[in-house]
Amino acid sequence: MKITEPKAIHNFYNGVIEGKPVMKSRKLLKDILTAYKDQNHAEDPQRVMYEVYCYEDEDSIGPGSLSWGLTVMYPERVNGECNFTRGHMHEDTSCGEFYFGLAGEGLLLLMDLEGNAWAERVYPNSLHYVRGKLAHRLVNTGDQVLKVGACWPSCAGHNYEWVEKHPFPVRVYKKNGEIVCI
C-alpha cells in the first residue's frame, strides 16, 4: 500500500489553506469600492479588503464533489461602513453551503429572492447553513481579522451579478464601538 501526503493543509485557527490545488484570490478596495454606500476615492485603492482560498482540483470537480474554502477579511471600514464580501447567490439554487467561524467577529448577511434580509452573528466555532436560494455576504464587524471557512457542492457556482442587480437592503456600520445596521 502506498501512503502519500495530503494535497493541502488547512491550519484552522492560525493560518490559511495551502497546497498545490489551492487557488487564492485577493480583493482590493478598488475592486469593490462601488459596492459601498459612500465611496471615498481618497482612500488607498490598493488596500487589501479580503482574501479567499479555495481547494479545488481534478478530484473535487463534478457531480457529488465538494469544494472547501476560507475567507480572510480584514477589519477595514469605508466611511464607517464595515468591510464586506461581494456576496453571491448560487447559480444552482438547489445547492446549499456551510459556513463556520474560525476567528474574529462578524455577520453573515442573508437575503431571500423577495429581498428580505437578516443576519446571523459569526464568531469562532459558529456554524451556519445557507440554503441554496439565499444570497449571502460576510461582514467583518470586529477589530481583528475575520476568518470563515466554507464547504459547498462544486457544481453550485457563484452568481455575483444577481447581488449586483439585487443589492442587500442593509448596510452595517461601526459607530462608537457599536454595530449599527441601516
Convert the pLDDT of each residue in 25-57 to its tens digit: 999 999 998 899 887 666 789 999 999 999 987
pLDDT higher than threshold 80 for residue 124: yes
Residue 6 in any domain: the answer is: no
Domain hosting 70: range is: 17-181
Domain count, the chain: 1
Average pLDDT of 149-177?
95
Query: CATH no. for residue 48?
Result: 2.60.120.10
C-alpha triplet 100, 28, 111: angle, nearest 5°: 45
DSSP H or E stretch at residue 170: none
Residue 155 in any domain: the answer is: yes
Residue 4 in any domain: the answer is: no
17-30 burial code (b ≥16 CB/10 A, e <16): beeeebeeeebebe
* pTM, 2 dp: 0.94
Please state whether beta strands 17-19 and 106-111 pair in parallel, antiparallel, or not at all (unpaired).
unpaired
Burial of 102 (0-12, 13-18, 19+ CB in 10 A): buried
Residue 8 in any domain: the answer is: no
How confident is the prediction for the chain on average, in pLDDT?
93
